[in-house]
Structure 1
């Protein structure tokens, strides 16, 4: 019925005074009563069109960040810079120096350092999970070689995170 199809059959059951009676309605009559379907179809498709339009506009309104923690030539982040406090390397576009100065530059560098620390925490957690998983499997299967390999596994992100946090403590 939503798309103008009506009921699947032409028989309509009507209850009147407790009795059921049949009313027959021809499909041709219904089609004549529907009128022009062009406007009806447009009105029915309007919610879908609005969703598509809002989605397209929202994609246009999203801006890319002014920096990247890694070299990204496809976005234009090709110029290497380093933050003042933690010496975190990051990459920017050609127009970065003109657009970001003073307090806005400090805000960007603070965001760079926050992202860097968040990445280190995430990578540290992953490295610890890998090491613990390998230790668990070594114990479960009784494999001494795997156990020694797990013991020798390093966690470089955890080491960098620890060093970064120490330098933050010394800074404050």
Structure 2
């Protein structure tokens, strides 16, 4: 029906008084509308075309950040730099130093440090969840070896996050 079709125009089963009888219906309107097939099809496909165009335009408007927290040769982020305050390592492209100076550089470094802290928080949460999961399983199954291993399990991201937040207090 969406592409100009309709319900079948062949024999239609009609029940009347408990008995089935066959009636034949021809659809004249279907043949009448076949003449404007090109325009009708275009109008029906218009919502899909609009979605495709909007999606393509939104992809073109998104710009990639000028840095990466890890080395990414495919994007060109291969030159290593370090932020001034927290000494966070990040990677940039070749012409980064020419494009970003002064206030722009400080804004980029602030973004790098914010992303770094967000990653540490996320990793810390994951490490805590993993440790709690192991502790729960050890208690549930009564496995003392697993319980001791879970107790000894470190959370390095949480430690780095704590150190980073302590450094921020002094700035």
TM-score after normalising by structure 1: 0.84
Contact 1:124 1:158 in 2 (8 A): yes
Distance 1:130 1:89, change over 3 A: same
Q: Please state how far the C-alpha of 1:32 moved relative to its aligned partner.
A: 3.3
Alignment of 1:11-160 (within 5 A): 26-27=26-27, 30-160=30-160
Q: CA RMSD in A?
A: 2.1
In 1, Cα distance between equivalents of 2:8 and 2:103: 68
In 2, Cα distance between equivalents of 1:29 and 1:154: 74
**CA offsets 1:26-78 (integer angstroms, 9 cap, x no match):** 43564135423112111211221121111112111111111100011111100
Distance 1:28 1:117, change over 3 A: same
In 2, Cα distance between equivalents of 1:148 and 1:36: 76
Contact 1:71 1:78 in 2 (8 A): yes
Q: Please state how far the C-alpha of 1:132 moved relative to its aligned partner.
A: 1.2
Contact 1:135 1:147 in 2 (8 A): yes
Distance 1:9 1:86, change over 3 A: same
Contact 1:10 1:27 in 2 (8 A): no
Q: Please state how far the C-alpha of 1:83 moved relative to its aligned partner.
A: 0.4
In 2, Cα distance between equivalents of 1:109 and 1:154: 29
Contact 1:86 1:167 in 2 (8 A): yes
**CA offsets 1:109-148 (integer angstroms, 9 cap, x no match):** 0010001001111111111111111111111111111111
In 2, Cα distance between equivalents of 1:154 and 1:145: 16
Q: Please state how far the C-alpha of 1:3 moved relative to its aligned partner.
A: 2.8
Aligned residues: 160
- Point out 4+ residue stretches in structure 1 off by more than 6 angstroms: none
In 2, Cα distance between equivalents of 1:33 and 1:155: 69
